[in-house]
A = this chain, B = another copy of it.
């Protein structure tokens, strides 16, 4: 057994302590913890017991330094967790990556006004293995990420020229187009759009989808309120009067989120507007409450789960070239309309 040299003694319980306690070499302890199958059952059990007894906690800094191996951390940076489908997407992504041993840090950049660079610096310093940009439109942040050539990037949402080969475009525009077409085919002609959080590209896309569909069917595209307010229930309630005032002929109202739509539904009740007879309403996102609201809410959603899986596959593919990743069938990534009572 190797001699245990004099040590600065930080008070920490080290591998050597465990090795001494178990009467084995330090290397064997290291193996017992990292690659148990390469250690005999007898020693492994003895070592496990010593680890338990001494309460040994590995020092990851030392491990990283010695093995020069990367950390198994992937960061997802997003502007904000907007809605239900986003939540599902990220959750799916996280679960898929976890299956391969990665830990995903989902970080909302909006909590870090003007400090995103510090945040990224910290993440980079911890050797994160990849970074996923999710609907990020903060140029400073994007540039910083691009400048760091060492870390693979996946960009979801808006197109960024430098990241063209690592781009996943979630077609919210298409989903909204399909929904609007659905509304039109139901016979509605005076269709308005209620959009909040207009600064976010995600919502700009939804707006654009509505616009495109209305143009395609030669319907007027001016019945639109595009507010900088948060896309929540309150805003939906607050903005409905403006819509009705400006366009009394409105027979259908499409909202860019389910929250807005449910806020509208509440306001309709207060004003004794019968939905869908006097005004049809639809949302976007298929949130949990949309199936029990009164009336229940017609909504559309992208197949977030599949997109999450697709993203995970793409990411794992880039990280681990030899790993066989089943590529999801892109043709299944189509928006799904939930047709309910409100429309």
Contact = CB atoms under 8 A, between A and B. Distances in A.
Contact of A127 (B61, B72, B232, B265): B61
Interface band, chain A: 35 or more
A159 to B, nearest CB: 26
A255 to B, nearest CB: 14
B122 A234 contact: no
Given A57-B124, A115-B98, A234 B62 contact: no
Nearest to A93: B111
Nearest to A98: B115
Interface string A223-260: 00000001011101100000000000000000000010
A112 B126 contact: no
A338 to B, nearest CB: 14
A87 interface: yes
Contacts of A259: 289
A106 B98 contact: no
A286 B119 CA distance: 28
Given A119-B103, A233-B289, A233-B292, A111 B91 contact: yes
B292 A234 contact: yes
A289 B62 contact: no
Contact of A115 (B10, B64, B95, B233): B95
A81 B65 contact: no
B108 A106 contact: yes
Contact of A113 (B91, B110, B118): B91
A8 B65 CA distance: 12
A98 to B, nearest CB: 6
A62 B118 CA distance: 20
A318 B8 CA distance: 27
Nearest to A55: B149
A60 interface: yes
A84 interface: yes
A171 to B, nearest CB: 23
A263 interface: yes
Contacts of A293: 233, 266
Contacts of A37: none
A103 B81 contact: no
Contacts of A110: 87, 91
A125 B60 contact: yes
A185 interface: no
Contacts of A72: 122
Interface in A91-105: 91, 94-95, 98, 103-105
A288 interface: yes
Contact of A60 (B8, B94, B126, B234): B126
A156 interface: no
Contact of A105 (B65, B105, B124, B270): B105
B68 A233 contact: no
A92 to B, nearest CB: 10
Contacts of A64: 61
B57 A61 contact: no
A317 interface: no
A125 B58 contact: yes
A304 to B, nearest CB: 13
Given A83-B232, A265-B294, 10 more contacts: A60-B125, A61-B64, A91-B112, A94-B112, A103-B118, A104-B111, A234-B292, A263-B289, A263-B292, A267-B292
